[in-house]
Amino acid sequence: MKVKAALQDIPVYQPGKPLEEVKREFGLDEVIKLASNENPFGCSPTVWESLSTERDFFSLYPEGGAPLLRQQLATHLKVEPERLIFGNGSDEIIQMIGRAFLEPGTETVMADITFPRYKTQALIEGAKAVEIPLKDGVHDLDGMAEAINERTRIVWICNPNNPTGTIITAEQLATFMKKVPPHVLVVLDEAYEEYVTDPEYPDGIKEVLANPRVIVLRTFSKIYGLAAFRIGYGVMDASLIQDINRVREPFNVNRLAQRAALAGLADQDFVNQCRKANREGIELFESHLTKLGLHYFPSQGNFVLMDTGRNADEMFHHLLTKGIIVRSGVSLGYPTYIRVTVGSQEQNIQFLNELDVAKSE
């Protein structure tokens, strides 16, 4: 049996090395994972307690439209509930958008180094992925606007961008939107929005309310610390929700995920504490890297892409032997860089100490 042609050149996603595997391989008792941009502080302590309320409903299918979460999230975002769609992570919503609007003969525009699911989904649908090189790690919005033509259906903007952590500003986005023709959707992937502290960052929800061509994607996997539950959401015009629902799988978000997201959403004190600790961690990284004379991209996410001055795979393996899992930049398009998730203060210091040792070797 031969796989369909559109899939033949698509690589299989390779997750980071599991903690237990690293422990066994190197004989380690403790390993810290700073590779997948997960929240080192876990999730709100109220989540576990909230899950106990669902134990009598395990035999039932979940509510397909997530009504309780829909209402609470709509209130939190100050939007109509009809503007929300939920997915098995925001990855699934990317998949649904691609299925609904891309087909052979169409094109979609994105940065050349960004979240890879945009390109993967385009290729699955038989569409052409037009990749515009980043400029100093930032989306080249002028170049992306120039790449739009009559075949373009979607423009993807990861903001903050993964893996560089950089942002486009509200002013830059406003200028770009004036150049986008009415037949093109603009997807603002804001998975790390809750971590942003830069006042120039655009208000994605405001953009959605002002323009029916804009879609905002967010997730409960990052600052809310619910990655294991796989739940994300999209905010958009209600007419787009109707179209995308045609390709949404029934009961795509499980009941426990909906309940966990409700509890996480209600605990904004936890979110604020994580944002503060994350910014302190980034500032520690930046200060240390500056002293070492190493380049880094200024990040508004919960990770930093930093130059190591040597082959990134070698640095990755060196850190691995010390019980620290990071992400090599070789596969990301930055062969001497590593992407490091901001951890707890203790984890950050441990990583920087090992970076110092590696730098001196």
Confidence of residue 23 (pLDDT cuts 50, 70, 90): confident
Domain boundary among 267, 292, 310: 267
User: Same structural domain for residues 231 and 274?
Assistant: no
Q: Please state which of the ranges 25-39, 97-111, 173-187 shows the lowest mean pLDDT.
A: 25-39
What's the pTM?
Answer: 0.95
pLDDT at 16: 67
**Same domain? 92 vs 240:** yes
Q: Which pLDDT belongs to residue 358?
A: 83
CATH code of the domain containing 276 = 3.90.1150.10
pLDDT in tens, 55-91: 999 999 999 899 999 999 999 999 999 999 999 999 9
The DSSP bridge pattern shows strands 84-87 and 232-235 to be: antiparallel
Residues 214 and 356 in one domain: no
Alpha-carbon span 334 to 315, nearest angstrom = 13
Please report, to the nearest 10 degrees, the dihedral formed by the alpha carbons of residues 85, 87, 90, 96 taken in order.
Answer: -80
Same domain, yes or no: 114 and 204: yes
Please tell me whether residues 215 and 319 are part of one structural domain: no
Asked whether residue 184 falls in the same domain as residue 232, the answer is yes
Number of domains in the chain: 2
What pLDDT, on the 0 to 100 scale, is given for residue 12?
Answer: 74
Residues 6 or more apart in contact with residue 290 via CB below 8 angstroms: none
Q: Chain centroid to CA 148: how far?
A: 24
The pLDDT score that the predictor gives to residue 136 is 96
Task: Indicate whether 82 and 38 sit together in one domain.
Answer: no
The helix or strand, by DSSP H or E, that contains position 150, with its residue range, turns out to be none
Q: How far is CA 273 from the centre of its chain?
A: 20
pLDDT of residue 1: 67
Are 350 and 235 within one domain? no
CATH of residue 80's domain is 3.40.640.10
Which residue in 349, 219, 194, 187 sits closest to 284, CA to CA? 349
Q: Within this chain, do residues 256 and 154 fall inside the same structural domain, yes or no?
A: yes
User: Do residues 262 and 233 make contact, with C-beta atoms less than 8 angstroms apart?
Assistant: no
In the DSSP assignment, the letter for residue 182 is T
339 and 227 in one domain? no
Confidence (pLDDT) at 63: 92
Which of 267, 299, 332 terminates a domain? The answer is 267
pLDDT value for 269: 98
Give yes or no: residues 207 and 249 share one domain.
Answer: yes
Print the domain residue range for 313: 5-42+269-360
End residue of a domain, out of 238, 267, 296: 267
Per residue in 116-170, pLDDT (tens digit) is 999 999 999 999 999 999 999 999 999 999 999 999 999 999 999 999 999 999 9
Residues 207 and 309 in one domain: no
Q: According to the model, what pLDDT value does residue 14 have? A: 67
Residue 257 has pLDDT above 70, yes or no: yes
